Amino acid sequence: MSSGSGSGSDPHLLSLLRAIRLRQSAPDAASAGEADTAAALSDIPVREEPEEEPESPRPADAGLLWRGDPGATLGRASMKAIPPIGGVNPSGPAAPVPTIPPIVGVRTGGPPGTEFPAAQNYPAIPRRFPGRTLPGPGAGPGRDGMDPADDAALRDTQRLLSTSLTFAGGPDAVAGRLWRALDQAQPALLESLPGAPDGQRAQLARAITWLIHTMDDPPALVTGCSAVGAALAECGIQWNQLHLVGAALAESMRTGMAPGTWRQEFDQAWRWTWQHTYEWIVHGGTLTAYQPTIWDTEVVEHDLRRDDLAVVRLRPFLPMPYRPGQYARFEVPAVPGIWRPYSLAGAPHREDVIELHVRAKTETGVSGTLVHHTRPGDRIRVTRAEGEMALPTESGRPILMIAGDTGVAPMKAMLAELAATADTRQAVLFWGVRDLTELYDIDALTALAAEIPRATVIPIVAEGDPGPYPSGLVTDAVATYGEWTRHEIYLAGPPLMIASTSEALHRLGVPRTRIHHDPPE
C-alpha cells in the first residue's frame, strides 16, 4: 500500500503495490522488459536436437525473482534442500516474514469454469491485516484498509491486462500460443501435468481469465496463487521449469496483436504481474511440506446406473496428479469432516476428469449423498491420491486383473492407461458379479478393451441367468482359464473376495509378491 497505509500492513500484499509504484517511477524498466522478452524467446531449443544446452543463470534484470537451487522440486521432496519460504519477496529483509494467512473470498470472474481455485478450500477469517482494524464505511482508506491510490493502481494494471488480452484475441487464443511455446521450450513441464493437450489449453485459458479478474483483490490473488503452487508441487514441477512462463505469456500476447498495437506498458504489466504471481506460487508449493493438499472439484456428470449405484465424474479446478489404480479420499458438503476413499477410474493421460463408482451404503452419509443427492455443478473436495497399485514398469510383463462389484473402477483406469499409451502387453480382466444387473459398466469396459491390442474383459456371473457370460465363482474361473505365475496380478473389491482370491492364486503357484491390492478399510 502507499505510505498512507501504515506500518502494520501485510508485507505480502504490499509487495504487489510496491512493484507497481516502481514500474511507474522507473522509465528504464520498459526498455529492459522489452529486451528481456525478446531475449528469453529468441533461442528456444528445438525438441528434436540430440542434446539440450544447459541453462545459463538468469540475468539480474530478467524480471523474475529466484530463490535457492533452480533445479529443486517444489513441495515435500525438496524440503531438505530448500529452506521454508516465510514471505514472498526474496529481495526483502533477512528476518522471517509472517506466512500468508488463508483468506476467504476468491470471487468469480467471467463465465462458469473460470472461477478456480474455489474459495471453500480456505476457512473464513476476518478481513483485516495484522495489527490493524478496518475503518468504518466511508472513513479513511478504501476496502481492506487500502489507500484509494493503491486501489487505483491495481485497477490500472488490471485494465492494461484486460485490454491487452482483448487485443491479443482472447484467453483461448492466448492460451493456445502459450501452450505451444511451453511445449517447445519446456515439454517436461506439460508432461508433468494431467490431461490431454486440449484440456491443458482450456485450463490455461481459465487461469488467465481468473488472474485478470482477481487482480484488484490482492488477498484472493495471494490465496489462489498459493493453491496453484500446491497443486503444481504435487505434480512434481521444478522451479526452473517456470522461468520462461512470464516471458512466454507476454510474447503470446504480443504475437496475437495487429502490427503497432503492442505497447511497452502491456509488457511491463504482464511481467510485473507474473513476477509476484510466481513468488506466491512458490510460497504455496513450499507449504505442501507442512499441510495436506486439498483439491476442489466440480461435478460435471452424475449417472445413476442402478437404484443404489452411480458413476460420478468430477473436474478438479487445479491439476491433480494420480496413477491409474490409485484411490483418494472425498468429502461432500452435506457431511463435513468425513472423508471416504474411492478409486479413481479416470484416464490422466486423456482428460482432466476423474471418475468415481459409488455404491450407496445408506441413504445419507458420503456414499448416500454421492449416489442420491449429488447433481452436476456440486462441489466436492478430494485429497491427494494414495495407494500402491500401478501398472508394472516392465513392458513385457502380462497383467491379470480380478475385480468384484465396484472394484472394477481401478481396473478401468489401468485399461484406459493401456489404451492411451498403445501398450501391447497382454491384459485380462475378470469381473465377478452376483447377477447380470450388476454389470453396470460393461459397455465402457468392452470399448476400452477393443482399443488395446491384447486385452480381454471376462464377466463372471455367480447367480441366475448368466446370459452370454460364464457362470460360477470368479476364483474358479481364474483357475480354469489359464496359468498366471508370470503375470502381475491386481485385486479390487469386497475384503472377503480379495482374501479368498489371493489365497486361491497362491495355491495355484503365484508368488505373493506378484499379487497387488490396497489394504481393506
Domain stop point among 383, 416, 436: 383
Note whether 224 and 197 are same-domain residues. yes
Total number of domains in the chain: 3
Instruction: Please list, in sequence order, all residues whose beta carbon lies within 8 angstroms of the beta carbon of residue 195, skipping any fewer than 6 positions away.
Output: 203, 319, 348, 350, 351, 352
Grid coordinates given for 429? 480382466
pLDDT band at 98 (very low <50, low <70, confident <90, very high): very low
- 404, 60, 44, 96: which is closest to 244 by C-alpha? 44
The separation between the first and the last C-alpha atoms of the chain, rounded to the nearest angstrom, is 52
Task: Give the per-residue pLDDT at 66.
Answer: 31
Q: Contact at 8 Å (CB) between 58 and 64?
A: yes
Q: Which of these ranges, 85-89, 381-385, 492-496, has the smallest mean pLDDT?
A: 85-89
Spatial separation of the C-alpha atoms in residues 287 and 282, rounded to whole Å: 9
pLDDT band at 519 (very low <50, low <70, confident <90, very high): confident
Task: Give the per-residue pLDDT at 349.
Answer: 83
Helix-strand-coil split of the chain, %, nearest 5: 40, 15, 45
pLDDT band at 469 (very low <50, low <70, confident <90, very high): very high
- The strand order across the sheet containing 488-492 reads 455-461, 427-433, 399-404, 488-492, 515-516
Task: Give the per-residue pLDDT at 351.
Answer: 86
Determine the structural domain holding residue 459 and report its residue range. 399-516
Measured CA angle at 423 (ends 420, 424), to 5 deg: 145
CATH number, residue 361? 2.40.30.10
Task: Give the per-residue pLDDT at 239.
Answer: 79
Note whether 221 and 116 are same-domain residues. yes
In the DSSP assignment, the letter for residue 386 is B
User: Does 121 fall in a domain?
Assistant: yes
Q: What is the 3-state secondary structure (H, E, C) of 463-516?
A: CCCCCCCCECCHHHHHHHHCCCCCCEEEEECCHHHHHHHHHHHHHCCCCHHHEE
User: Does 49 fall in a domain?
Assistant: no
pTM: 0.72
- Note the pLDDT tens digit of each residue in 192-239: 999 889 999 999 999 999 999 998 888 999 999 999 999 999 999 987
Task: Give the per-residue pLDDT at 520.
Answer: 74
Note whether 226 and 331 are same-domain residues. no
- 40, 72, 58: which is closest to 237 by C-alpha? 72
- 311, 325, 352, 307: which is closest to 444 by C-alpha? 311
User: Does 56 fall in a domain?
Assistant: no
Coil/strand/helix, residue 85: coil
Task: Give the per-residue pLDDT at 15.
Answer: 57
Domain stop point among 320, 355, 383: 383
Largest CA distance in the chain: 82
Spatial separation of the C-alpha atoms in residues 426 and 488, rounded to whole Å: 11
User: Does 140 fall in a domain?
Assistant: no
Cα-flanking dihedrals φ and ψ of residue 239, to 5°? -60, -45
- Note the pLDDT tens digit of each residue in 259-274: 989 998 999 899 889 9
Note whether 341 and 438 are same-domain residues. no
Strand partners, 431: 403, 459
Note whether 214 and 352 are same-domain residues. no
- 158, 166, 140, 254: which is closest to 211 by C-alpha? 158
Please state the rounded mean pLDDT for residues 418-438.
92
Note whether 116 and 19 are same-domain residues. yes
- 461, 344, 495, 497: which is closest to 413 by C-alpha? 344
Query: Measured on CA atoms in the order 461, 464, 465, 470, is the torsion positive or negative?
Result: positive
Residue 35, phi-psi category: left (phi > 0), alpha (psi -120 to 50), beta (remainder): alpha
- 223, 10, 17: which is closest to 105 by C-alpha? 223
User: Does 2 fall in a domain?
Assistant: no
Note whether 443 and 475 are same-domain residues. yes
User: Does 392 fall in a domain?
Assistant: no
Grid coordinates given for 333? 458438503
The per-residue b/e assignment along 462-498, b for 16 or more CB within 10 angstroms, e otherwise, is eeeebeebeeeebbebbeeeeebeebbbbbbbeeebb
DSSP character string of 318-347: S-----TT-EEEEE-TTSTT--EEEE----
Grid coordinates given for 423? 501398450
Query: Measured on CA atoms in the order 144, 145, 148, 151, is the torsion positive or negative?
Result: negative
Residue 158 has pLDDT above 60, yes or no: yes
Note whether 469 and 500 are same-domain residues. yes
Residue 430 one-letter amino acid: F
Spatial separation of the C-alpha atoms in residues 22 and 2, rounded to whole Å: 12
Q: Contact at 8 Å (CB) between 66 and 58?
A: yes
Note whether 284 and 364 are same-domain residues. no
Please state the rounded mean pLDDT for residues 165-178.
95
Domain stop point among 339, 355, 383: 383
- 318, 399, 274, 271: which is closest to 115 by C-alpha? 318
User: Does 328 fall in a domain?
Assistant: yes
Please state the rounded mean pLDDT for residues 126-133.
31
User: Does 5 fall in a domain?
Assistant: no
Instruction: Please list, in sequence order, all residues whose beta carbon lies within 8 angstroms of the beta carbon of residue 3, skipping any fewer than 6 positions away.
Output: none
Task: Give the per-residue pLDDT at 502.
Answer: 92
Note whether 89 and 184 are same-domain residues. yes
Note whether 471 and 358 are same-domain residues. no
Note whether 315 and 185 are same-domain residues. no
Spatial separation of the C-alpha atoms in residues 365 and 355, rounded to whole Å: 19
Instruction: Please list, in sequence order, all residues whose beta carbon lies within 8 angstroms of the beta carbon of residue 59, skipping any fewer than 6 positions away.
Output: 36
